[in-house]
Amino acid sequence: MRSLINILDLSTGEIDELIAVAEDIIADPAKYSEACRGKKLATLFFEPSTRTRLSFEAAMYELGGNVLSVSSGASSSAAKGESVADTAKTVSCYADIIAMRHPKEGAPYVASVNASIPVINAGDGGHNHPTQTLADLLTIHREKGRFENLTVGLCGDLKFGRTVHSLIEAMSRYEGVRFVLISPEELKVPSYVKKDVLARNGIPYVQTEDMESVMPELDILYMTRVQRERFFNEEDYLRLKDSYILTPKKLQNARTDLSIMHPLPRVNEISVAIDDDPRACYFKQVLNGKYMRMALILKLLKEAGR
C-alpha cells in the first residue's frame, strides 16, 4: 500500500505530476468536484493544528468526498492507551485514506505498516512534514518557475522544525541548490540531516547566526517558529524565541525578487508590516497546500484502487 511518510517517497517526476494536477485543479476546480464522491478521509491529529487538518479536510470536501476527524489525542482511544497500530487497523475499517499527525517521530510510519489504506504523514514530532513541503514546492514553482539554481535561506528553529528537514530533503535533489542555514547555535540543523542529506549529496551550505549579512544572497527566505512544544525547559525557549524577527529594515539589502516563506503559525518571526510586501508568500503557501493535498489524495486513492 502506497503511503506518504517522507517527501523522498515521491520521485521528482511524481512531484512534477502532483504540481501539474494542482495547477489543473486551480484552473478548473469544477472538473474535480465529484472526483472522490463516496470516499472518506480520516484525519487523526494527536497534536494541535489549524492549517494542516483544515486544509486536508477542505481538500477532501472540494473533491466531493467526506471526512472523519479526530482532532486531539485526549478525545480518542489513544487516551485509554490504544496503540498507533491498533488505531490504524481500526480506522482502515471506516475510511479510504488517513492523514495522521503525531508527537512521536515515526508514528505515521507505524500506522502505514498496519493500515490497509494509504497513510499520509501530516507531521511527526520534530522529524518530517512532507505535505507542508508539497505546499512549499508548489509555492517555489509558482514564484520562481524552477527548483534549480536557487539559494535557499532557512531561518529560526532548524533543529526541531520538521518542515525545514523535509524541505531540505526535497530541495537537495535539484541541481545548483545551495542552503544558507541561519539559526542560534542551539537550534542548528541536526547532524543526521547534515550528514545523510547535505554531505551525502554534496550540497553546498553555510551556517550562520547573522541573518542580515547573508540577506543579499537569498532567492528564498524560509522563516520558522521556535518550536516551544519540543523544548525540554521553558527558560531555553524564552531565551531563544525572539532570536530572529524579520522587519522591513532587515529586508533593505534583500533581492527585489526574494520570496519570503513561512509554514505558519507565525508567532513573532515576521513583522506584520511585511504582509503587504509583494515578496511575502506565506498566505499563498496556505492555499497552495490545499491544492497539493487534493492532488496527493487523488494520486494515493487511485494507486490503492479505491
Q: Which chain residues interact with ligand NCD by CB under 6 A?
A: 51-52, 123, 129, 132, 162-163, 225, 263-265
Neighbours of 73 (CB within 10 A): 16
Question: Minimum Å distance from CB 77 to ligand NCD?
Answer: 23
Q: Give residue 215's region: left, alpha or beta (phi > 0; psi -120 to 50).
A: alpha
For the bound state, the minimum distance from the C-beta of residue 239 to ligand NCD, rounded and expressed in Å, comes to 18
Nearer to ligand NCD, 118 or 161 (CB): 161
Residue 91 and residue 109: Cα distance in Å, rounded? 15
Q: CB neighbours of 127 closer than 8 A, spacing ≥ 6?
A: 105, 106, 162, 165
User: Given the complex with ligand NCD, which of 51 and 141 has the nearer CB atom?
Assistant: 51
Least separation in angstroms between CB 237 and ligand NCD: 13
Of 225 and 299, CB closest to ligand NCD: 225
Look at the alpha carbons of 215, 217, 223, 229 in this order and tell me if their dihedral is positive or negative.
negative
The DSSP 8-state label assigned to residue 298 in this structure reads: H
| Cβ proximity of 63 and 22 under 8 Å | no
Minimum gap (Å) between residue 129 Cβ and ligand NCD: 5
C-alpha cell recorded at residue 306: 479505491
Nearer to ligand NCD, 290 or 299 (CB): 290
- Of the pair 163, 183, the CB lying nearest ligand NCD is at 163
Q: How far apart are CA 203 and CA 252, in angstroms?
A: 28
- CB nearer to ligand NCD: give 39 or 129: 129
Least distance CB 69 / ligand NCD (angstroms): 16
Instruction: Tell me how far, at minimum, the Cβ of 24 lies from ligand NCD, in Å.
Output: 24
Q: Report whether 274 contacts 301 (CB < 8 A).
A: no
Residue type at 114 in one-letter notation:
N
